[in-house]
């Protein structure tokens, strides 16, 4: 999407320098920093340190990591070693494993001399596919927003609430949860977005940065405000992203999503999940029991990063010195609390039947 009028993807291949470039999200929204990713360790650090983040973007980044690995050493042993090294970076978003498996399965049959070029072309394809998938999710989500708008007094905005950042910088472009928002705004529908801050990494600030750059009315709210807003009729629809959705429609997403789904159900607010199909894990059925939840560093909870008075960016400790912290980075919303899954092939129920109807070839595999 656009940053100060200039279109960007969240990562791109610099053909002049023959290197991947990323937006280092650790410094957003205060500083826009582009950096090259030149070594396999750089790729692993970029994912682990959340310089790039968001399930689809993690997958696309890993694909370019495999391309670099094949340029360095196209042997079977290095193909497997790169797969292992990249797969170990973050455990929850299934897009990482999906992209790595897709790359390894495509490269294994090739002669080693052909692997580097093929790997780079596949990484480009995965990135381009993500853009198109998210654009289509936007089209399908737009129709839901239109239906809500039609039931409201003319000119009254559709009020959406979103959690975390499932925006264009969490993907290669468009975002998943934000794609319907962008397309509704661009279609002239009046909308307003409640943006959950999303402790502890405050990815909501990234969403606010995105929406502000696109001229979309929004308000930043504490994670604990959503239930109150819903109780007072101030939310027409919740829309979030996902890092892994089971074949039965259980949705793993940023910590706190489950609580929003409970509040939405209690208040009769539709709760939608924007779901690109690479984020579906067809091998698991019970999300709570089977999806690995990343436990991140306690420092992300005990400290908060932000803009300092001197123009720098820094972190302050908000807890007493010595206080420990737990930091589960995701939770699982059972499909029974989800109104619908917005995929690139259309909207379906958060159920095995719903997903099988849209993806019969995958459900049957």
Q: Which residues are catalytic?
A: 243
Q: What is the DSSP letter of 295?
A: B
Q: Does 51 bind ligand LNRAV4D5 (CB under 6 A)?
A: no
Whether the Cβ atoms of residue 304 and residue 316 lie closer than 8 Å to each other = yes
Closest approach of Cβ 351 to ligand LNRAV4D5, in Å?
21
23 binds ligand LNRAV4D5 (CB under 6 A): no
Q: How many CA atoms lie within 13 A of 194 on its CB side?
A: 23
Residue 210, φ and ψ in degrees, nearest 5: -60, -50
Ligand-binding annotation for 253, yes or no, is yes
CB–CB of 362/282 below 8 Å?
Answer: yes
Query: By C-beta, is 240 or 263 nearer to ligand LNRAV4D5?
Result: 240
Mask for 175-204, x = binds ligand LNRAV4D5 (CB under 6 A): -x--------------------------x-
Q: Does the annotation flag 21 for ligand binding?
A: no
Is residue 260 marked as binding?
no
- From 55, 100, 119, 238, residue interacting with ligand LNRAV4D5 (rule: CB under 6 A): 55
Residue count, binding to ligand LNRAV4D5 (CB under 6 A) = 16
- Interatomic CA distance for residues 170 and 32, integer angstroms: 15
Number of neighbours of residue 58 by Cβ within 10 angstroms: 28
133 or 149: CB nearest ligand LNRAV4D5 = 133
- Number of C-beta neighbours around residue 360 at 10 A: 10
Q: Which H/E stretch holds residue 355?
A: helix 352-358
243 binds ligand LNRAV4D5 (CB under 6 A): yes
User: By CB under 6 A, which span of 118-126, 181-189, 237-245, 334-342 interacts with ligand LNRAV4D5?
Assistant: 237-245
Q: Which of residues 315-334 bind ligand LNRAV4D5 (CB under 6 A)?
A: 329
Closest to ligand LNRAV4D5 by CB, 202 or 248: 202
| Binding range to ligand LNRAV4D5, per CB under 6 A, among 164-172, 217-225, 265-273, 345-353 | 164-172
- Does the protein bind ligand LNRAV4D5 through residue 341 (CB under 6 A)? no
Task: Name the DSSP class of 74.
Answer: -
**Phi, psi torsion values for 265, nearest 5 degrees:** -60, -40
- Asked if 10 is part of the footprint of ligand LNRAV4D5 (rule: CB under 6 A), the reply reads no
Find out whether 287 is annotated in a ligand binding site. Answer: no
Kindly tell me which residue out of 20, 99, 166, 342 binds ligand LNRAV4D5, with binding defined by CB under 6 A: 166
Task: Write the DSSP symbol of residue 311.
Answer: S
CB-CB neighbours of 37 under 10 Å: 24
Task: Report the distance separating Cα 124 and Cα 236, nearest Å.
Answer: 37
Q: Does residue 105 have a known ligand-binding role?
A: no
Q: From 257, 278, 268, select the one nearest 335 (Cα to Cα).
A: 257
- The rounded distance, in Å, linking the Cα atoms of 106 and 125 is 12
> To the nearest whole angstrom, how small is the minimum distance from the Cβ of residue 118 to ligand LNRAV4D5?
27
Residue 314, annotated as binding a ligand: no
Q: Is 54 annotated as a binding residue?
A: yes
Evaluate whether 201 touches 167 at the Cβ level (below 8 Å): no
Nearest CA to 176 among 258, 272, 265?
272
Contacts of 116 (CB under 8 A, 6+ apart): 67, 70, 71, 74
**Residue 162 engages ligand LNRAV4D5 in binding (rule: CB under 6 A):** no
Q: Does 254 bind ligand LNRAV4D5 (CB under 6 A)?
A: yes
Nearest 5 degrees, angle CA 276-CA 282-CA 284? 120
Q: What is the DSSP letter of 294?
A: P
Nearest distance from C-beta of residue 235 to ligand LNRAV4D5, angstroms: 18
Question: Which residues contribute to the site for ligand LNRAV4D5 (CB under 6 A)?
Answer: 53-56, 164, 166, 170-171, 176, 203, 240-241, 243, 253-254, 329
Annotated binding site: 53-55, 90, 203, 253-254
Binding residues for substrate, as ranges, are 53-55, 90, 203, 253-254
């Amino acid at each position: 999407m656009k940053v100060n009028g200039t279109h960007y993807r969240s990562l791109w291949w610099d053909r002049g320098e023959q290197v991947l470039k990323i937006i280092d999200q650790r410094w957003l929204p205060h500083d826009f920093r582009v950096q090259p990713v030149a070594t396999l360790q750089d790729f692993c650090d970029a994912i682990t340190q959340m310089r790039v983040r968001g399930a689809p973007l993690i997958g696309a980044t890993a694909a370019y990591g495999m391309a670099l690995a094949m340029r360095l050493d196209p042997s079977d042993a290095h193909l497997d070693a790169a797969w292992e090294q990249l797969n170990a970076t973050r455990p929850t978003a299934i897009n990482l494993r999906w992209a790595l498996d897709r790359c390894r399965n495509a490269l294994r049959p090739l002669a080693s001399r052909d692997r580097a070029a093929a790997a780079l072309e596949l990484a480009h394809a995965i990135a381009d596919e993500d853009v198109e998938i998210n654009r289509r999710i936007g089209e399908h989500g737009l129709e839901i927003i239109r239906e809500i708008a039609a039931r409201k007094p003319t000119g009254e905005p559709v009020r959406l609430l979103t959690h975390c950042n499932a925006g264009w910088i969490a993907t290669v472009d468009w975002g998943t949860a934000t794609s319907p928002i962008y397309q509704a705004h661009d279609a002239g529908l009046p909308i307003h977005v409640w943006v959950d801050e999303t402790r502890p990494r405050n990815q909501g600030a990234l969403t606010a940065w995105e929406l502000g750059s696109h001229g979309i009315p929004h308000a930043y709210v504490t994670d604990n405000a959503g239930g109150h807003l819903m109780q007072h009729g101030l939310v027409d629809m919740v829309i979030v992203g996902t890092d892994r959705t089971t074949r039965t429609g259980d949705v793993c997403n940023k910590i706190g999503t489950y609580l929003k789904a409970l509040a939405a159900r209690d208040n009769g607010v539709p709760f939608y999940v924007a779901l690109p199909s690479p984020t579906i894990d067809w091998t698991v059925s019970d999300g709570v029991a089977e999806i690995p939840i990343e436990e991140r560093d306690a420092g992300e909870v005990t400290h908060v990063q932000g803009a300092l008075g001197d123009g720098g960016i820094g972190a302050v400790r908000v807890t007493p010195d010595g206080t420990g912290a737990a930091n589960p980075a995701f939770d699982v919303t059972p499909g029974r609390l989800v109104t619908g899954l917005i995929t690139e092939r259309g909207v379906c129920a958060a159920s095995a039947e719903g997903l099988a109807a849209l993806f019969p070839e995958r459900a049957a595999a």
